[in-house]
């Protein structure tokens, strides 16, 4: 049995959601699969392949893609159920492109706008787009924020999570020099005639700045559904998770949800009805009333 057959089997068993199964399957995958020592092409269970370096990215997305065959399985499942072939998608904080590639499959007749600020990571994003010959992804080597500027992005000092690079300084990057990157408001970058169906934002504590730079889009009657990472476990720039939650409620008529078992697992969406329901470190899913109908089969 080759790698992808093995991870497919483990994921099928994990999807039963029997207590302890997901953790056991993760452990077996780490135990049985050969440990790569450099950059390789890893096939995913999602129907595309990705250049990854699990030996470098020991605690990040690339490690999970190799050993589990996917990443944030719950999040991707919500995307697949919600998105339609002609939809357009925005990926802010695209990393090496996993979410962008998944969206490109789901929105096969639409467009994916993929933003990655880290120049080195952006090169891998472009490699992964070419690897899969996707023509409907438009990558941008830039960051998004609340105003047009130039800021520094700092890699994770531990060098074990490529996606941990951030424009917010913390104990994990305080010794890094950083790289200057161009920043602009999403409202400035987008063609006002393009309808966006869904947007994912995962920018390591810079989420509020991205949202503030997209107020025209987010306050419109055709505002996109949102997937926004919300975390108490890191430094956030000028906001707390509660303030993020309040902002999302106020910018439009969004109903806010989270996955019952977290973003890594297949489970139902449950409404975040108050501040006490905000997750410690997970994704918030925001839908307008007319969008909720697409999700009936996974709403609790």
Q: Are 163 and 61 in contact (CB under 8 A)?
A: yes
User: What tens digit of pLDDT does each residue of 156-209 get?
Assistant: 765 667 877 888 877 666 667 789 999 999 999 998 889 999 999 999 889 999
Q: What mean pLDDT is predicted for residues 237-245?
A: 91
The model's pLDDT over 109-154, given as tens digits with 9 standing for 90+, comes to 999 999 999 999 999 999 999 999 999 999 999 999 999 999 999 8
Mean pLDDT, all residues of the chain: 93
Mean pLDDT of 82-100: 98
CA angle 29/35/36 to nearest 5° reads 130
> What is the pLDDT at residue 92?
98
- Report whether 156 contacts 221 (CB < 8 A): no
Domains observed in the chain:
3-68 (no CATH), 73-298 (3.40.50.150)
Specify the pTM: 0.95
pLDDT, average across residues 244-259: 97
pLDDT of residue 264: 95
Smallest CA-to-CA distance from 71 within 83, 81, 84, 57 is with: 57
For residue 295, the 8-state DSSP code is G
pLDDT of residue 300: 86
């Amino acid at each position: 049995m080759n790698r992808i057959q093995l991870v497919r089997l483990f994921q099928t068993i994990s999807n039963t959601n029997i207590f302890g199964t997901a953790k056991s399957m993760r452990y077996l995958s780490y135990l049985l699969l050969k440990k790569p020592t450099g950059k390789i092409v890893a096939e995913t269970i999602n129907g595309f392949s990705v250049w990854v370096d699990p030996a470098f990215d020991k605690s990040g997305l690339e490690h999970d893609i190799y050993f589990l065959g996917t990443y944030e399985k719950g999040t991707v499942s919500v995307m697949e159920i919600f998105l339609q072939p002609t939809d357009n998608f925005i990926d802010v904080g695209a990393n090496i492109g996993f979410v962008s590639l998944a969206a490109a499959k789901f929105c096969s007749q639409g467009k994916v706008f993929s933003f990655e600020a880290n120049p080195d990571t952006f090169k891998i994003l472009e490699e992964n787009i070419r690897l899969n010959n996707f023509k409907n992804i438009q990558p941008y080597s830039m960051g998004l924020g609340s105003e047009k500027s130039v800021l520094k992005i700092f890699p994770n000092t531990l060098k074990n999570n490529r996606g941990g690079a951030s424009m917010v300084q913390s104990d994990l990057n305080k010794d890094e020099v950083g790289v200057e990157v161009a920043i602009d408001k999403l409202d400035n970058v987008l063609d006002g005639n393009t309808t966006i169906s869904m947007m994912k934002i995962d920018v390591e504590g810079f989420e509020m700045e991205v949202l503030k730079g997209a107020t025209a889009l987010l306050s419109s009657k055709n505002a996109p559904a949102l997937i926004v990472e919300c975390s108490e476990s890191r430094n956030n720039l000028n906001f707390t998770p509660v303030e993020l939650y309040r902002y999302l409620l106020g910018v439009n008529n969004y109903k806010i949800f989270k996955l019952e078992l977290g973003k890594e697992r297949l489970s139902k969406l449950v409404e975040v009805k108050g501040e006490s329901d905000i997750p410690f470190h997970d994704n918030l899913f925001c839908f307008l009333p007319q969008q909720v109908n697409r999700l009936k089969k996974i709403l609790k």
